[in-house]
Amino acid sequence: MMKRQLGRSGLEIAPIVFGGNVLGWTVDQANAFRILDAFIDAGFNAIDTADTYSRWVPGHKGGESETIIGKWLAQGGGRRERVLILTKLGAEMGPDKKGLSRRYMKAEIEDSLRRLKIDTIDLYQSHRDDPSTPMLETLETYAELIKEGKVRAIGASNFTAQRLREALDVSRTHGLPRYECLQPGYNLYDRKDYEGPLEHLCLAEHVGVIPYYGLASGFLTGKYRSAADFGKSPRGGRMVDYLNAKGRKILAALDAVAAAHNVKPAAVALAWLIARPSITAPIASATSVEQLQDFSAAAGLKLLPAEIATLDAAGAG
Q: What are phi and psi of 48, to 5 degrees?
A: -105, 135
**How far from 104 is each of 40, 131, 164, CA to CA, in Å?**
33, 15, 21
pLDDT tens-digit map of 81-92: 999 999 999 999
* Gyration radius of the chain over CA positions: 19
The pLDDT, as a whole number, for residue 284 is 96
The pLDDT, as a whole number, for residue 63 is 97
Answer positive or negative: Cα dihedral of 148, 152, 153, 154.
Answer: negative
**How far from 277 is each of 53, 107, 170, 195, 197, CA to CA, in Å?**
30, 37, 26, 12, 15
Q: Mean pLDDT across the chain, nearest whole number?
A: 96
pLDDT-flagged residues of the chain (< 50): none
Neighbours of 158 (CB within 10 A): 19
**Distance, CA of 193 to CA of 165 (rounded, Å):** 16
Give the amino acid at 112: S
Q: What are phi and psi of 5, to 5 degrees?
A: -75, 140
What 3-state class would DSSP assign to 1? coil
**Distance, CA of 157 to CA of 104 (rounded, Å):** 18
Answer positive or negative: Cα dihedral of 186, 188, 191, 194.
Answer: positive
The pLDDT, as a whole number, for residue 238 is 77
| Helices (H) then strands (E): counts for the chain | 11, 10
- 4-242+265-302: in CATH 3.40.50.720: no
The one catalytic residue in 53, 194, 212, 224 is: 53
Based on the residue annotation, tell me whether 53 is a catalytic residue of this protein.
Answer: yes
Q: Among 223, 241, 242, which residue's Cα sits nearest to residue 232?
A: 223
